[in-house]
Amino acid sequence: MGSALLEGTEVSKRFGGLQVLSRVSFRVDPGEIVALIGPNGAGKTTLFNLISGLLPPTGGSIRLGAHTLTGLPAHRISRLGVGRTFQTPRPFMDMTALDNVRVAALFTERQAGPAHGLLSLVGLADVAGMPARHLPAGSRKLLELAMALALGPQVVLLDEILAGLTPTEVQAATGIFRRIRDERGVALFWVEHVMHAVMQTAERIVVLHHGEVICEGGPQAVAQDARVLEAYLGREDSS
């Protein structure tokens, strides 16, 4: 194993009396597609909020290459090369898709290429001139992906980016993820509930349940893991 690109060590988060993440360790290698799955409320979005600096962890550390991210403000983390999309996307609604990508690119010195090329990469070239508010929710998520790529990231955190897409769009999107990885060398850390897409696309899967990593491995191993099946079937006390 080489050195990790993005690595968390025993990361914890408590909200008042609620322990949402407990000693979560994870790694994403350069150019790797890693899925983060788990039932609703497992703590997936919270982990992304800690990585991207929107919330401080209550324990543990997170680093990107040689940089310690823990304690840095979100804009520094973004500039160091961690992009993200949100479970509920929030582009500038009155701006066109193309202008949203152009605005995102203003905040970096890295050269990610022309904005329209990024829109083409995510399959939105046809709606480049359309205000974001007229895009369906699924397209807004892909727009956020293009905006994240405009910052020239090393890794992008995707939070349920396939929710609301049709099966055909899901197939197209997973092809886009592979192209982003293959052509730009960008690693993806990807929260997703659309399980067949995860199984086809992710190289490694991390499973969170009640804020703890209960399983980690390749798609086949994870799909056959008894703890994972129990977590999804909700039989907490079964033998």
Ligand X SMILES: Nc1ncnc2c1ncn2[C@@H]1O[C@H](COP(=O)(O)OP(=O)(O)OP(=O)(O)O)[C@@H](O)[C@H]1O
Q: Is 15 in the site for ligand X (CB under 6 A)?
A: yes
**Helices assigned H by DSSP within 106-150:** 115-121, 137-150
Separation of alpha carbons 210 and 183, rounded Å: 36
Q: Is 43 in the site for ligand X (CB under 6 A)?
A: yes
- Helix (H/G/I), strand (E/B), else coil: 51: helix
Is the Cβ–Cβ distance between 153 and 83 less than 8 Å? yes
Is the Cβ–Cβ distance between 187 and 6 less than 8 Å? yes
- Name the residue nearer to ligand X (CB basis): 129 or 234: 234
Can you tell me which of 17, 40, 94, 183 binds ligand X, judged by CB under 6 A? 40
From 33-41, 129-137, 147-155, 173-181, span contacting ligand X (CB under 6 A): 33-41
Partner touching 107 among Mg ion, ligand X, none, CB below 5 to 8 Å by kind = none
Partner touching 40 among Mg ion, ligand X, none, CB below 5 to 8 Å by kind = ligand X
- Name the residue nearer to Mg ion (CB basis): 41 or 56: 41
Can you tell me which of 22, 24, 45, 132 binds ligand X, judged by CB under 6 A? 45
Near ligand X in 85-124, by CB under 6 A = 87
From 43-51, 61-69, 116-124, 218-226, span contacting ligand X (CB under 6 A): 43-51
Q: Is 17 in the site for ligand X (CB under 6 A)?
A: no
> What is the closest distance, in whole angstroms, from the C-beta atom of residue 44 to ligand X in the complex?
3
**Helices assigned H by DSSP within 73-186:** 74-80, 97-105, 115-121, 137-150, 167-184
Can you tell me which of 6, 34, 37, 42 binds ligand X, judged by CB under 6 A? 42
Please return the burial class of 196, using the count of CB atoms within 10 Å of its CB with bins 0-12, 13-18 and 19+. exposed
Separation of alpha carbons 90 and 135, rounded Å: 12
- Put the strands of the sheet holding 67-68 in their side by side order: 18-28, 6-15, 59-64, 67-68
Partner touching 41 among ligand X, Mg ion, none, CB below 5 to 8 Å by kind = ligand X
Partner touching 42 among ligand X, Mg ion, none, CB below 5 to 8 Å by kind = ligand X
Closest of 29, 157, 142, 180 to residue 83, by C-alpha: 157
Q: Sign of torsion, CA 100 106 110 112?
A: positive
Separation of alpha carbons 155 and 84, rounded Å: 8
- Name the residue nearer to ligand X (CB basis): 44 or 181: 44
Binding mask 31-60 for Mg ion (x = CB under 5 A): -------------xx---------------
- Site residues for Mg ion per CB under 5 A: 44-45
